[in-house]
Chains A and B, each alone.
Chain A
Amino acid sequence: MAKGIIIIVEQRDLQIRKVSLELLSQGRKLADETGEPLVAVVLGHGIEGLAQTVAASGADKVILIDDEKLANYTTGSYTSVLNKLIRKEEPQAVLIGNTAVGKDLAPRLAQRLGVGLASDCTEMEADEKNFLSFKRPIYAGKAFAHLSSNVRPILATIRPNTFKAEEPDASRQAEIVKETADIDTADLRAIIKEVAIAASERPDLTEANIIISGGRGMKGPENYGILEELADVVGAAVGASRAAVDSGWREPKFQVGQTGKTVAPTLYIACGISGAIQHLAGMGSSKFIVAINKDPEANIFTVADYGIVGDLFDVVPLLTEEFKKLV
């Protein structure tokens, strides 16, 4: 009889990913609503110290699987371990953050478990008939598909920034269990030779609460400095439109849009961005949108909560001064 909600907690270099904390908070609410236990699973090496943070974030039980071979994520090792663990635990549902790891791990795990997968979900609710139902964007957010499954376990990846990570409760206790990693050697065929993470003081676009983004109106790569200054006052990430990336002004990893990153910050400030449908696909679910553009007819104004028709080269530095007064 399937029981429990499992959250796969993602960590890198012993830092828990923000989305995992969001899932633990939402998982806690679901667990209380449905009467199911909330179980967190952490894979890695040297991860003992993370157990308490995970417990404080709402888990009833924390399963730690600590092994050298799990220090860095690889598809094979993580699928091997989680497949066996999930078959043993028999949960109702398994939730994973839709990060680069989640996007890679979830479908492989789903296939090995013989189940479906609701990916990149932006809504999740307890469901009378099928325990959970999900809503996910399709056609770049121009429509939604509503999904549920009567097969167990239910597997879903959730988009970062969909749920809120609540303040942890240091007094929370959880049952802490250590399991050994059971990895099939057949799953260890891909060898990671090198990992190169760009050091950045700014948050990842997909995790940022505030994003300052620049488009064609920026006129050149050298001008992004004014966006970076504004971003640094409020701890924001800096994004770019496809036009700016294709012109070589910013690296592709900073592109927001249908063929770039999908972001859902609390505040998105679009500077010199016309607001093409493909760009809106990438940021349209931001809580608040601000547009700064010389062209009063720019499409971005149709979705902006606040708009300034003006020269971003005048407005942005002035906005930086105003923000400095507030923080």
Chain B
Amino acid sequence: MNIIVYIKQTFDTEAKIVLDGSGKIDANGVNLIINPYDEYAIEEGIRLKEKLGGDVTVLAMGGASAQTAIRTALAMGADKAVLVSDPALDNTDEWTKAEILAKAVSQIPYDIILTGRIAIDDGASQIAVRLAEILGVPSISSALKLDITDTQATVTREIDGGTELIEVSLPVVVTAQKGLNDPRYPSVAGIMKAKKKPLKTLTLADLEFSAGDIAPKMNVDKFTLPTARVAGRKIPGEAAEAAQELARLLREEAKVL
């Protein structure tokens, strides 16, 4: 079984967000992690390999720092990696990124492509499904459970208010929801082996893209920071007094009851 796992390196959830001089999100000094939802995808890919044989290719797009994320995935048990790296990626939208990713994927044989259902930085949740569309394969979002044979995937996925059981033939793109599995920690042996596993870097030129091909369809006009929520007040008094006052405030002041 040929498995591709698409991962993204994102800011740590604790990161404080500031804008730089040109109004862009400042990445200076920010701690970077593998997008937590992609960890479920890496783990699932490795389990599939352990069960059915084959290999796991990690695919990522980003700058040189993304190599750390890739090496961690390799240390967990993936076999090889491809990194698409190019300064022009900074000015792309999801449409463009999906087109680029599809080009990279088309060079790798696959039966299943796994990735997290959402990236915690942009929270857009678009790339995987767009990729599936370009490749002409079905996409299944928010998988909670995945059973694969050589030809078919049976997926339990999360929908609003419940779950759905879906059957689909391979090849397929599946996005992982929290709860799909418990990702393993890389072992020391794994970390050592990872250093020797192949990592190929591709530029947009390698993928035969020119500047005109990658213009975004949706433009970011600017970034802004939220106005801080101001702390309100603490209601004094013993429980009974405070509860009564809170109810009154919610009715009379906030007008929500």
Instruction: Please give the residue numbers on chain A whose beta carbons come within 8 Å of chain B beta carbons, in ascending order.
Output: 12, 75-76, 79, 99-101, 103-104, 106-108, 110-112, 114-120, 133, 135-151, 186, 189-198, 200, 204, 206, 210, 234, 252-253, 258-260, 266-267, 277-278, 281, 284, 287-290, 296, 301-311, 314-315, 318-319, 321-323, 325-327
A residues near B229, Cβ cutoff 8 Å: 284, 289, 302-303
Q: B14 contacts the other chain (Cβ, under 8 Å)? A: yes
Are B221 and A287 touching (Cβ within 8 A)? Answer: no
Among residues 223 to 239 in chain B, which have CB atoms less than 8 Å away from a CB atom of chain A? 223-226, 229, 231-235, 238-239
Among residues 74 to 113 in chain B, which have CB atoms less than 8 Å away from a CB atom of chain A? 93-95, 98
Would you list 22 pairs from A and B whose C-beta atoms are within 8 A, ordered by A residue? Answer: A100-B159, A111-B129, A117-B95, A144-B224, A144-B226, A186-B136, A189-B168, A190-B140, A191-B168, A193-B166, A195-B164, A277-B13, A281-B13, A288-B256, A302-B229, A303-B229, A304-B231, A318-B244, A319-B247, A321-B243, A322-B243, A327-B257
Instruction: Please give the residue numbers on chain B whose beta carbons come within 8 Å of chain A beta carbons, in ascending order.
Output: 11, 13-17, 19, 25, 36-37, 93-95, 98, 120-130, 132-134, 136, 138-142, 154, 158-169, 178-179, 216-226, 229, 231-235, 238-240, 242-244, 246-247, 249-251, 254, 256-257
A130 smallest CB distance to B (angstroms): 8
A252 smallest CB distance to B (angstroms): 5
A residues near B122, Cβ cutoff 8 Å: 138, 145
Give complex CA distance A165, B127 in Å.
Answer: 31
B residues near A318, Cβ cutoff 8 Å: 239-240, 243-244
Are B234 and A309 touching (Cβ within 8 A)? Answer: yes
B residues near A322, Cβ cutoff 8 Å: 243-244, 246-247
A178 smallest CB distance to B (angstroms): 27
Contacts known (A116-B216, A196-B164, A308-B234); A140 close to B221, Cβ less than 8 A: no
Name B36's closest neighbour in chain A (CB-CB): A259
Are A310 and B139 touching (Cβ within 8 A)? Answer: no
Give complex CA distance A289, B233 in Å.
Answer: 11
B129 smallest CB distance to A (angstroms): 4
Are A234 and B257 touching (Cβ within 8 A)? Answer: yes
Are A107 and B126 touching (Cβ within 8 A)? Answer: yes
B residues near A253, Cβ cutoff 8 Å: 158
Give complex CA distance A305, B253 in Å.
Answer: 11
Are B217 and A151 touching (Cβ within 8 A)? Answer: yes
A129 smallest CB distance to B (angstroms): 10
A residues near B161, Cβ cutoff 8 Å: 197-198, 200, 204
B residues near A311, Cβ cutoff 8 Å: 239
Give complex CA distance A314, B221 in Å.
Answer: 50
10 nearest interchain CB pairs?
Answer: A116-B218, A116-B217, A305-B232, A322-B247, A197-B162, A318-B243, A314-B239, A111-B133, A107-B126, A107-B129
